[in-house]
Amino acid sequence: MAHILIVEARFYAHLNDLLLAGARAAIEAAGHTHETVTVPGALEVPGAVAAASESARYDAYVGLGVVIRGETYHFEIVAGESARGLMALSLDGLAIGNGILTVENEAQALVRADPAQKDKGGEAARAALAMLALKRGFAV
């Protein structure tokens, strides 16, 4: 059994509730346990994962959030840097599923977040579990 940390950015709470439901369901369906911590936005997700990884309490991590394109360049910075941060941590050996949605509008986010539709929260959790299994397989 693995213990998974879900780090969720609550900027769009109603959308994140859907992502969180999908992630939790996927982790529980696989027979694992989880905890959830909340950060203000997507840029803070990698920092929270990095801090949590120092505790050795978690076997894998799921980052969740929603970044919707606006009228400024801020979208590109938040989308790119949150993904870069999680990728850097995965290259350092952490098993991470990236469920930070980067979309043009709320309608796209709703389809992707909804567990009954694209279930990107569940997909991110399953990716984290797959990477954990791979990592454990290499350790043998």
Catalytic residues: 74
Separation CA 9–CA 57 (nearest Å): 21
Is 75 annotated among the ligand-binding residues? no
Residue 42 annotated in ligand binding: yes
Please state, in angstroms and rounded to a whole number, the distance separating the CA atoms of residues 109 and 3: 28
Q: Is 4 annotated as a binding residue?
A: no
Cα–Cα distance, 70 to 84 (Å, whole number): 20
Q: Is 44 annotated as a binding residue?
A: yes
Per the annotation, does 98 bind a ligand?
yes
Report whether 45 contacts 11 (CB < 8 A).
no
Question: Binding site for (2S)-2-hydroxy-3-oxobutyl phosphate: what residues are annotated?
Answer: 71-72, 112
Question: Binding site for 5-amino-6-(D-ribitylamino)uracil: what residues are annotated?
Answer: 11, 42-44, 66-68, 98
Question: Binding site: what residues are annotated?
Answer: 11, 42-44, 66-68, 71-72, 98, 112
